[in-house]
């Protein structure tokens, strides 16, 4: 059975970046698990137990909609991953990879504006050093609205891998609604209408109704 692991800095990044792809892979029989590195709320001076629990409940509800098998929650400081030794973050990821043996990892684009996204990407690459018999064959970077496109001076996100989510867009939007506290009114890029518009545009780019776009970080295949 195909196993896919999503490693995201914050809960809601998984839906924004690859929620439709998660649902599409589950529909095809794959097992998808998710790791969150932070609780996603600590940087707001509202790091209360109730706020954390609401965010965790939202992630569980979103996961149910998308068909996520398992969620692993780490508790590194929100928007302060750069204050943590990289080795500590890597060592929090490695046991999950060893346990699940995923062949595919989906994670953040390397040059997002959000520092947690960038550190997450680096930690994934370190945890997935291409050693003999390592299970991970493919690493794809996803875009997150209001972070990827806001990194104006950084190397741009240039997608070269697309997943048709025409049949899963509704699930993506319903999963996003589980995170309604994190959403913003249009024309903010983190509004439901903007997220749908991006999916429609990515789909139009490759000739389908809706898609999610990725950049290939590494892909090992026996096919040419």
DSSP the chain: --EEEEEESSTTHHHHHHHHHHHHHHHTT-EEEEEEEE-S-GGGT---HHHHHHHHHHHHHHHHHHT--EEEEEEEPTT-GGGS-HHHHHHHHHHHHHHH--SEEEEE-TT-SSHHHHHHHHHHHHHT---TT-S--EEEEE--TTTTTT-TTSPPP---EEEE-TTTHHHHHHHHHHTGGG---TTSTTSHHHHHHHHHHHHHHHTSS-EEEEEEEEE--S--
Domain spans, the chain: 3-219
**Taking Cα atoms as reference points, which of 106, 167, 110, 98 lies closest to residue 135?**
98
pLDDT of residue 223: 73
pLDDT of residue 48: 80
pLDDT of residue 96: 98
Is 3-219 a CATH 3.40.50.10320 domain? Answer: yes
pLDDT of residue 43: 58
pLDDT in tens, the chain (224 residues): 899 999 999 999 999 999 999 999 999 999 999 999 999 886 555 568 899 999 999 999 999 999 999 999 999 999 999 999 999 999 999 999 999 999 999 999 999 999 999 999 999 999 999 999 999 999 999 999 999 999 999 999 999 999 999 999 999 999 999 999 999 999 999 999 999 999 999 999 999 999 999 999 999 987 76
């Amino acid at each position: 059975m195909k196993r896919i692991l999503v490693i995201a800095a914050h809960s809601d990044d998984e839906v924004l970046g690859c929620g439709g792809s998660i649902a599409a892979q589950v529909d095809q029989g794959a097992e998808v698990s998710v790791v969150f590195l932070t609780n996603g709320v600590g940087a707001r001076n509202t790091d209360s137990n109730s706020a954390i629990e609401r965010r965790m409940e939202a992630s569980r509800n979103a996961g149910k909609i998308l068909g996520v098998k398992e969620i692993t929650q780490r508790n590194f400081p929100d928007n302060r991953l750069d204050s943590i030794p990289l080795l500590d973050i890597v060592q929090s990821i490695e046991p999950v990879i060893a346990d699940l043996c995923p062949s595919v990892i989906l994670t953040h684009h390397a040059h997002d504006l959000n520092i947690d996204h960038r550190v997450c990407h680096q930690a994934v690459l370190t945890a997935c050093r291409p050693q003999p018999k390592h299970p991970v064959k493919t690493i794809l970077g996803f875009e997150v609205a209001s972070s990827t496109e806001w990194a104006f001076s950084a190397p741009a996100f240039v997608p070269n891998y697309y997943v048709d989510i025409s049949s899963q867009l509704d699930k993506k939007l319903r999963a996003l609604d589980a995170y309604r506290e994190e959403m913003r009114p249009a024309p903010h890029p983190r509004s439901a209408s903007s997220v749908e518009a991006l999916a429609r545009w990515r789909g139009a780019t490759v000739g389908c109704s809706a898609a999610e776009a990725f950049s290939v970080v590494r892909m090992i295949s026996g096919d040419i």
